[in-house]
Amino acid sequence: MAKRLVTIGNGMVGHRFLEQMAAKGADWELICFCEEPRVAYDRVNLSGYFAGKTAEDLSLVEPDFYQDNQIEVHVGDKAISIDRANKTVTSAKGLTISYDKLVLATGSYPFVPPIKGNDLLGTFVYRTICDLEATEAYAKNCKVGVVVGGGLLGLECANALQNLGLKTHVVEFMPRLMPVQVDESGGAVLRQKIEDLGIGIHTGKSTTEIVADENGRVCKMLFADGTELETDLIVFSAGIRPQDELARQSELKIGDRGGIVIDDNCQTSDPDVYAIGECALYNNQIFGLVAPGYRMAEVAADRLCGSDANNFTGADMSTKLKLLGIDVASFGDAFGKTAGSKVIKIDDAIAGTYKKLVVNEDGTRLLGGILVGDAAPYGTLLQLMQNQMALPPHPEDLILPPRSGASTAMGVDQFPDTAQICSCNNVTKGQICTAIQEQELRDIGSVKSCTNAGTGCGGCVPLVTDLLKSELKKAGIAVNNNLCEHFAFSRQELYSLVRSQNIHTFQALLDRYGTGRGCEICKPAVASLLASAWNDQILDAPHVGLQDTNDAFLANIQRDGTYSVIPRIPGGEITPDKLIVLGEVAKEFGLYTKITGAQRIDLLGARVDQLPHIWQRLVAAGFESGHAYGKALRTVKSCVGSTWCRFGVQDSVGLSIEVELRYRGLRAPHKLKSAVSGCTRECAEAQSKDFGIIATEKGWNLYVCGNGGMKPQHAQLLAADLDKETLIRYIDRFLMFYIRTANRLERTATWFNKLEGGMEYLQNVIINDSLGIAAELEAEMAHQVSTYACEWDVTLKDPVKLQRFQHFVNSDAPDPNIVQVEERGQKRPVYEHERQLLSIDS
């Protein structure tokens, strides 16, 4: 008869332990107590719940995993006592189960500071999906929310409150944000970037009392310095404490400040009881990251399956995360506490980045570092530190922006085989390389499936990709940059073929240069480059079947199956009459309205059958498609320039309208954004755009290849003090050169970073015509400009095209699954838990 193993806790670490036991095929009867009403889910990405992810999206448990592996899980039943003498566990529902071995994976609980009023109506913690559901329900009647705690979890929580539409503040007792991970300078950069997002930051604040209104609800916070802050809701996210109550009751050894004491085997003071994750105390340290917890789970599973190959000897607490869209990383001796250590810092106020390296006394070894705003070098830096590799002669090159001719020569080939590439799953370089060689792996998906590298937080995927390319090159296998299995050409090569061979349809290209029938990769990619080359209407018969959902319906699909309507508003300039039309349309069709960050107005919530009717009204009023659904020019943002502003030196509004109307509808490998600022005060944020224009007293400066999205990058100066004619000519050349040479779905910033020779090369091509193609590029753009037609205007005049805008093929009925509720005076899609409640009520 199999021995019985009981696990208490079904969080990320508890589930990983059960996965390890199942993978090892151990002869154990596995039973697990899960206190929450749902099985394990991804706490690391918990804030995604407020961005539209459901509990199912966050789940870590594959369908039928527990059933298939005969694991008995008691969901919603908390273990309340352990009888070590009789080796039993008793649950809140009265279930008593005996065990041969016991694993405690009870995790941690949120620390709530002992402040008067910390239990008032309107106070919450940020730990579980249930906490989030309670916060979300209460927030519907709130305008302002405060997070107490400016650490990792606190800033994640601030992101969640912002996603709920609350004016958000962060209150931190320490003098800076993330005091454990970043230093004073890094904290200052992080603070500025978060404040730029509209979040109020209050550091060095000691809360003395939380005050209630006449209804007993939170209304105000009082601070020791005499100041106060009004709020409707407070979430405590001021750190964690190990959940060691059960262990205390059963008299297991506990640390002086909490935590279940474990040894190298993850065994407690009782050899039949193990502890893993945030409840465990090893060498007087609690490990509050998921990777060390996974490592403990692996060690405990090894021991229980009879192996002593691995020990838990602590873990590297280096972290790389994206908080509120901002990259933050900290590793090793980030604060330079090692005797004789020296520091290299780059504090770039213009780019909004802070990078710091801590090196040993002679500058030959990396000891640690901090990255804020740009954590791209993190993977390489971590390997250099962990493997004690010699630094290059100029270590600052490791954190300087890439420039022509600069090389640090610190690629993955120099890492030792023992280098831990994936810390979440403890996968080394040697294991990855061996798998690539022995299993003949040829793509990153296969490497991830075979080795598990990159399947945790995903931070190591760039290094894993570099290893794959390196191994393929060593084996004499050409690194495949084919568009897909149907075309043995890159996107750039296909664009050249389309142009040179005068190919106008996907089928013609497939017949001459491809195989098979095409797929979801090549069809939209070819559709895009055909539009870039010839500017044919994308809903014409040869092209319509190639488009993805957004392009197929000339609108962005939203999470509830409705669509967006975002007409073009060049330069953000709009007449009162047009504003009135937008308001009338929104009222008539019950649309959610919002002013965007790109000087346009979103109308959200349109059913597919309503789109033609809405656009009939808008086109009649003089609006045209804003291409928010396409990989095309979106907007050209502007300030008011010399027309109104006392600092303006040029008419930025006039130029932005002219530029937007010139390049409207231009299809590209990825979306394009632009802006025109009327002076160097840069109110239109032109340097964060794919191409940006800034006025000078002598003309216009042209900046290119900026990116304000997932990985922000400032644009670089291409040319200065240009007259308008020259400016337009250079933009024509730049855009068409990018369209010719970029990869599929590659933004201008990424394209530029790969460009051999950098800005000097680009200037030679665009300004000096070093390739002799300037005239061709200008002619191609002239064709685009002369053949432009609003896609919605064309569609409305074509009965065949209009037939696609209905939910059912054989009925005019709308989609019955679209359910919306009212919030802040407007309709929005229901969240999944609300839909379930509505189903119960009905």
Please tell me the pTM assigned to this model: 0.56
Dist. CA 45–CA 323, nearest whole Å: 11
For the chain, residues classed under CATH 3.50.50.60 are 3-109+242-304, 123-238
Spatial separation of the C-alpha atoms in residues 299 and 275, rounded to whole Å:
11
Topology given in CATH for the domain delimited by 316-410: Enolase-like; domain 1 (3.30.390)
Would you say 740 and 733 are in contact if contact means Cβ atoms under 8 Å apart? no
HEC string of 256-273? CCCCEECCCCCECCCCCE
Q: Which pLDDT value is given to residue 404?
A: 37
Whether 662 shows a pLDDT value over 60: the answer reads yes
| CA 73/CA 67 separation, integer angstroms | 9
- Determine whether 814 is exposed, middle or buried from the number of CB atoms within 10 Å of its CB (0-12, 13-18, 19+): middle
Query: 216 pLDDT band (50/70/90 cuts)?
Result: very high
- How far is the first Cα of the chain from the last one, in angstroms, to the nearest whole number? 49
The per-residue pLDDT for 481 is 72
CATH superfamily entry for domain 626-786: Sulfite Reductase Hemoprotein, domain 1 (3.30.413.10)
Q: Express each pLDDT in 517-536 by its tens digit.
A: 888 788 888 988 898 889 88
DSSP 548-574: -HHHHTTS-B-TTS-EEE-B--GGG--
Q: Is 683 annotated as a binding residue?
A: yes
pLDDT at residue 406, rounded to an integer? 41
CATH of 3-109+242-304, one of 3.40.1190.20, 3.50.50.60, 3.30.360.10, 3.40.50.11540: 3.50.50.60
Secondary structure string (H, E, C) spanning 300-359: HHHHHCCCCCCCCCCCCCCEEEEECCEEEEEEECCCCCCCCCEEEEEEECCCCEEEEEEE
Does residue 747 carry a pLDDT above 50? yes
Tell whether 457 is in a known binding site.
no
Establish whether 484 is an annotated binding residue: no
30-48 residue pLDDT tens? 999 999 999 999 887 777 7
Percent of the chain beyond pLDDT 70?
A: 95
Q: Give ∠ CA 664-666-671 in degrees, rounded to 5.
A: 100
Q: In which residue are the tokens 């000339």 written?
A: 554
Split at pLDDT 50, 70, 90, the class of 407 is very low
Close Cβ partners of 49 (under 8 Å, ≥ 6 residues apart)? 55, 58, 129, 132, 160
Coil/strand/helix, residue 605: strand
Cα–Cα separations (whole angstroms), residue 807 to 585, 620, 631, 673, 818: 21, 25, 25, 32, 11
CA dist 374 → 159, 191, 318, 705, 760 (Å): 19, 15, 16, 16, 23
Using a 10 angstrom Cβ sphere, with 0-12 exposed, 13-18 middle and 19 or more buried, the burial of residue 307 is exposed
**Rounded Cα gap, residues 24 and 251, in angstroms:** 31
CA–centroid distance for 490 within its chain: 27
Query: Where along the chain do the CATH 3.30.390.30 domains lie?
Result: 316-410
DSSP 443: S
The rounded distance, in Å, linking the Cα atoms of 600 and 592 is 14
List, in sequence order, every residue forming a beta bridge with 108; answer none if it has no partner: 242
Range 415-480: architecture per CATH: Orthogonal Bundle (1.10)
pLDDT at 235: 95
Radius of gyration, alpha carbons of the chain: 29
pLDDT at 143 over 70: yes
The side-by-side arrangement of strands in the sheet containing 228-230 is 207-212, 218-223, 228-230
Structure tokens at 632: 């095309």
* pLDDT > 90 in the chain, percent: 51
Cβ atoms < 10 Å from Cβ of 289: 19
Tens digits of per-residue pLDDT, 81-120?
A: 999 999 999 999 999 999 999 999 999 999 999 999 999 9
The whole-number pLDDT of residue 405 equals 38
**Per this entry, what is the length of the chain?**
842
d(CA 738, CA 754) in angstroms, rounded, equals 12
Q: Which of 353, 371, 374 is nearest to 189 (CA)?
A: 353
The Cα 612–Cα 28 span in angstroms is: 62
> Lowest-pLDDT range, 195-204, 562-571, 805-814?
805-814
What is the tens place of the pLDDT at every residue in 296-324?
A: 999 999 999 988 878 999 887 888 776 67
Q: How far apart are CA 674 and CA 12, in angstroms?
A: 43
What architecture does CATH give domain 123-238?
A: 3-Layer(bba) Sandwich (3.50)
Burial 483-507 (b: 16+ CB within 10 A, else e): bbebbebbbbebbbbbbeeebebbb
Higher pLDDT, 111 or 556: 111
Mean pLDDT of 699-726: 90
Residue 403, pLDDT > 50, answer: no
CATH 1.10.10.1100 domain position(s) in the chain = 415-480
